[in-house]
Amino acid sequence: MAIKLIRRGVADDPAEALKFICPPAFSGGPIDPQPATRTLRRNLDVMIDLPLPPAVAARTRALKDKIRLWTIEDPDLPQDQGRTFPSPLIRTVQGDVVQATVGFQLDAHTIHWHGIEPTPLNDGVGHTSFEATSSFVYQFATNTAGTYFYHCHKNTVLHFEMGLYGGLIVDPLNPDPDSLNQAPYPTGGPGFASANVPGFPGFDPANFVVPYDVEAVWAVDSFDSIWHLLNHDAFMQKCDANDPMAAANFTNDGILNVFRPDVFLISGVVSVPASSPEVSPEIGANIQDPRVAINAKVNQTVLIRLLNADYLIHENILGLDSVAIAADGHPFGVPPLNRYSAPVRIPAGRPFRTTSARRYDLLVRTPAVPGIFPFRVKFIDWISGKVVHIARTVIKVQP
């Protein structure tokens, strides 16, 4: 007897359709509270302006000398540290239960802990749970050490572009409980990363960790300056609780299907064109800002946490050999969950690509002699395949 399988869609359930189009609002929490081992606070959305170098400002479509950003503030830091782009980094420790008290200042928002697996009500995807209005206490466990990030999931395409995101790092424990350097580790290093790299200097096969001396967090991004003139709910589908599926609720007007970036950045530092407008592709000058450029010594281990925070494809080329030890928060070859994978060695000069929201953790062993080694990232339009910009920085290896 033949069995007919019927795939049920959201449109078949008016209540579920209503939830996706008109997410309920909620504040308070936490829901099902658990004892927290780590607490933090964040506020959305705090507006800041990112100044543009004259050579960049003159070529933006919006013809502005600054880009308006919405950020996620850490109210427990001084303003110059708590209101940054990307939003302030969060560091937790493997095995933590985190409670994050989040305030929402202008409108309904959420925070999605990208790559973490909390309960659905703490996942921050508004259409499948709710959007918070004044404040909410999220809670989640950080069970796997690696690189994640957090971002708003309200009008997601626009809000992520506007800067409502930041890095989230889960550190493994130091195998030496008597060491003064215990997790969470200082940003910039030294610390330990979860990895399975036999033969790599300092690798601990009993605990599957490897020490690093220097850490860099590279969030590679681009902006369409026209998008940054839009308001909070621009081009969202309309909420009609009486008839959520009415055709009038769905509009085809808008610009969020047209992404034409004209500002390119690494970790909040703007790449300034070094070539003339007639040269294609446009090549940026080397970024020397210490937020991006890496300074290390000979025979050291560098950990690069690379995030594609963009809507373009990135082709990355590093001037030193590296080992990809993790992707998207999952350390290759580390049991029990990832024991069927393995680290990937990337020779110097070999390009590798990342797409939106992809993270790679890269280990680099600096050579025994000093030198300056390049990093380049090509920004590739995912429709045309055209390289629209090349941003550059360096790894400086000193005696």
CA distance 302 to 333: 20
The three-state secondary structure class of 88 is strand
Instruction: Write the CB contacts of 31 (distance below 8 Å, at least 6 apart in sequence).
Output: 119, 121, 122, 139
Do 7-171 and 173-224+259-399 agree at the fold level?
Answer: yes
Tokens linked to 289: 């800002």
**Domain definitions of the chain by residue range:** 7-171, 173-224+259-399
CATH fold for the domain made of 173-224+259-399: Immunoglobulin-like (2.60.40)
Sign, Cα dihedral of 218, 223, 229, 234: negative
Task: Provide mean pLDDT across the span 173-200.
Answer: 97
Please tell me the predicted confidence (pLDDT) of residue 336: 92
34: left (phi over 0), alpha (psi -120 to 50) or beta: beta
Structure confidence by residue, pLDDT tens digits, 342-398: 999 999 999 999 999 999 999 999 999 999 999 999 999 999 999 999 999 999 999
Query: pLDDT: is 90 or 231 the higher one?
Result: 90
Q: How confident is the model at residue 126 (pLDDT cuts 50, 70, 90)?
A: confident
Is the distance from CB of 377 to CB of 337 less than 8 angstroms? no
The size of the chain, in residues, is 399
Q: What is the pLDDT of residues 259-283, one digit of tens each?
A: 999 999 999 999 999 866 666 788 9
| Average pLDDT over every residue of 282-296 | 96
pLDDT of residue 82: 96
Asked whether 322 and 362 are in contact (CB, 8 A), the reply is: yes
User: To 10 degrees, the CA torsion angle through 225, 226, 231, 236?
Assistant: -120
Looking at the predicted structure, is the pLDDT value of residue 5 above 60?
no
Distance of CA 346 to the CA centre of its chain: 22
Decide: 209 and 194 in contact? Cβ < 8 Å. yes
* Mean of per-residue pLDDT scores for the chain: 92
Q: Which CATH number is 7-171 given?
A: 2.60.40.420
Residue 15 backbone dihedrals phi, psi, to 5 degrees: -65, -40
Please give the pLDDT value at position 7.
47
